[in-house]
Structure 1
Amino acid sequence: MVVRDFVSTNIIYFFVAFGIIIGGCLIGAIGMMFVGRPPFQSMILLSKSLKIWAIVAAIGGTFDTIDKFESSLFSGSILEVINQCIYIIAALIGANTGEAVIRWMTQGVE
């Protein structure tokens, strides 16, 4: 049960970060078209600038994660620290995958 919860949480964090990048870039490109900016170049710039926010949103905010780091580290629970690091890595992989999909969709237009 514990492993299943851990894996499902990682999958959720991956797809939340992925969805923030994809959705933010697509909707942002529509806004860029309204103001007369090139949408494909804007999507690439948005994917780069949204990456950190996608990671933070996926893990539920930085304060919760830092609090868990602190309490786990000082209580000697190294496994919980490792779990939090893996959660952050799953969100990072999701954000990077989203950026790669945006680059693929725009064919890397810079």
Structure 2
Amino acid sequence: MSYFLSKAGLDFFIAFGIVLGGSMLAGGGSVFMALPPATVMLDTALRLKIWAIVAAIGGSVDPVRVIESNFTAGQLSPVAQQIAFIIFAFLGAHMATELVKLVCKGAS
């Protein structure tokens, strides 16, 4: 259980950090490009969301292979774990996107 919670927590915070950090850096860079920072931050957060999830769960198709191989073998516990890791990564990316929306409220 300890491994599961630590991996799920890391997936959450990795995805959260990718979206929030990428959006903040894009907003800072937009100042140098004479673009509206809030609009750029919102757009970047939305575009980074799926990539943050992929990066948090491992950045490749390995989690999908784990799901497929264990599901066909009838072992549902590893399948449930991988799906939970994906959900935690999604929650981290989604919360960061909502935070960026909150900070940039009224910018679009």
Fold conserved between structures, TM > 0.5 = yes
Name the amino acid aligned to 2:27.
A
Tell me the CA shift for residue 107 of structure 1: 2.2
Length, aligned pairs only: 108
Question: TM-score w.r.t. structure 2 length?
Answer: 0.95
Tell me the CA shift for residue 100 of structure 1: 1.1
> 2:27: which partner in 1?
29
Runs of 5+ in structure 2 lacking a partner?
Answer: none
Matches within 5 A, 1:11-50: 11-50=9-48
Q: Which runs of 4+ in 1 moved over 6 A?
A: none
> 1:74: which partner in 2?
72
| Alignment RMSD | 1.0
> 1:99: which partner in 2?
97
Tell me the CA shift for residue 49 of structure 1: 0.5
Tell me the CA shift for residue 109 of structure 1: 1.8
> 2:81: which partner in 1?
83
Q: Assess, with a 3 A threshold, how the Cα gap between structure 1 residues 20 and 108 changes in structure 2: closer, same or farther.
A: farther
Runs of 5+ in structure 1 lacking a partner?
Answer: none
Question: TM-score w.r.t. structure 1 length?
Answer: 0.93
Q: Assess, with a 3 A threshold, how the Cα gap between structure 1 residues 49 and 90 changes in structure 2: closer, same or farther.
A: same
Comparing 26-35 with 44-53, greater Cα deviation is found at 26-35
C-alpha separation in 2, matches of 1:83 and 1:7: 10
3-state secondary structure, aligned to 1:62: coil
Comparing 91-100 with 68-77, greater Cα deviation is found at 68-77
